Amino acid sequence: MKVSYDDVRRTKTARLVMIDGHRVRVDQRAIKVWRKNPDAVFNAVLDSHTREYRMSGHETLRSGD
């Protein structure tokens, strides 16, 4: 699942967010990346134990590249 800063309603704190019926755990590392680059998109990976998606690597969108 791809997750943008807008998807998590530009949260400023690490927390659990619901996106299209899926529980997504937003961590402080993701928020730090989004503060520097609000257009970054994270891959969210399902944790089968907690049944929550967690942040993984991210992509940055740059105009002109």
Q: How do residues 1-44 score in pLDDT, each as one tens digit?
A: 999 999 999 999 999 999 999 999 999 999 999 999 999 999 99
Give the pLDDT score at 60: 82
Can you tell me which residue has the tokens 């927390």? Answer: 15
Q: How do residues 34-46 score in pLDDT, each as one tens digit?
A: 999 999 999 999 9
Counting Cβ atoms within 10 Å, is residue 48 exposed (0-12), middle (13-18) or buried (19+)? exposed
What pTM value is reported for the model? 0.83
Spatial strand order of the sheet with 41-47 comes to 2-4, 41-47, 52-59, 22-26, 15-19
Domain boundaries, the chain: 1-64
CA 45/CA 54 separation, integer angstroms: 5
